Amino acid sequence: MFSFCNRFTGQKAHAIMGLIIYIHTIHCYGAVDVKYRMFIVSLLTVMIVFLNFSPILASAKDVYYSNEVAVLVYHHIDELEQSSVTITPRLFERQLVSLQRKGFHFITLDQFKDFKTKGTAIPDNALLITFDDGYESFYTQAYPILKRLQIPAVNFVITKDLDDPKRPKLASLSKDEIKQIRSEDPNIEFQGHSDELHAMKDGKPMLSNKVILNGKLETEVEFKSRVVQDTRKCIAKLKELNASKNVDSYAYPYGSYDDTTISYLHEAGIQYAFTTKAGIASEWTDSMQIPRINGGSPFVRPHSISNLIKQAKREQSQLVSSK
């Protein structure tokens, strides 16, 4: 009986345990007839299923991890468009509400930085919400939800699109939209996703690969200069908009990087860089290789997003223990 209840936690365990004890008692003492016992057993079965799968009744006291941060990444929010990185506003909101009810705590980018550099305390089940690419849908669809739920977030922006936000196939954030969001909610921040290096050349990401210039493969000096200058240009554009208290964070375009890329970004002024690798960030995680979990897939349902986080935690713990 106790091993069965160990599958559940918090309020779920107490509710199920109470029913089991009640049924055990009436069975032992024959307090009711067979039909009534069958009714109680059926009720228990329904309660187990309901409590196990209902996000509303999940305990807000459950602790899945401490002194760590799960970073979720999203891209595009839209009612009609479909892709592997596009979800509807309704799904986005339901994911966030489900996480709140299950006891996850949303933190700001500044809180995350202080945790990483100073060891500042953070709440259990800490979560950081991030967006990549700086689409206009962040302003029209995501921001109203984040504002209503009082959830902080950071958007990594491709800054070359700021000058003509309607030019890309998917409209980008405008300078005025970023300024408005920042004036209304300082816990929503904007950081770098490169200026012109969110692109492929000859099938390879331009941030982390040398390219052909004037018919020749660029030298190491030219490669470094291109990456450093692009990054500094990206930072400067964001600083002009007061996009963040400190513009020093970056999301790797296409998740592509190596040790050389890291050193060049560091030289340009980047202190924190976010990957597309799944995992949970601890105080000791490399600040230039921060893992993130993809929450922006249409296949990630409200009741399962917490399972993604817990799975990433389990896999990371297994990896650490195997070393």
Amino acid identity at 166: K
12 membership: H or E segment, kind and range: helix 10-29
d(CA 1, CA 125): 29
Contact 251, 235 (CB under 8 A): no
Neighbours of 1 (CB within 10 A): 8
Half-sphere exposure of 39 (CA within 13 A, CB side): 5
132 close to 156: Cβ distance less than 8 angstroms: yes
Q: Read off the pTM.
A: 0.82
β-strands 200-201, 188-192 pairing: unpaired
281: nearest Cα among 92, 109, 102: 109
Contacts of residue 160, defined as CB under 8 A and 6 or more positions apart, other chains included, come to 195, 196
Q: Is 309 helix (H, G, I), strand (E, B) or coil?
A: helix
Tokens, residue 96: 């966030």
Residue 115: half-sphere exposure toward Cβ, Cα within 13 Å: 24
* Element of type H or E holding 87: strand 86-87
pLDDT in tens, the chain (323 residues): 433 343 344 444 455 555 454 545 445 545 456 565 566 556 555 454 444 444 444 455 799 999 999 999 999 999 999 899 999 999 999 999 999 999 999 999 999 999 999 999 999 999 999 999 999 999 999 999 999 999 999 999 999 999 999 999 999 999 999 999 999 999 999 999 999 999 999 999 999 999 998 889 999 999 999 999 999 999 999 999 999 999 999 999 999 999 999 999 999 999 999 999 999 999 999 999 999 999 999 999 999 999 999 999 988 887 766 66
Kindly indicate whether the domain formed by 68-322 is annotated with CATH number 3.30.160.620. no
Instruction: Spell out the domain ranges in the chain.
Output: 2-53, 68-322
Crossing angle between the packed helical segments 305-322 and 89-101, to the nearest 10 degrees: 60
Contact 303, 88 (CB under 8 A): no
Q: Determine the Cα–Cα distance for residues 139 and 145; give it in Å rounded to an integer.
A: 10
Which one-letter DSSP state was computed for residue 255?
G
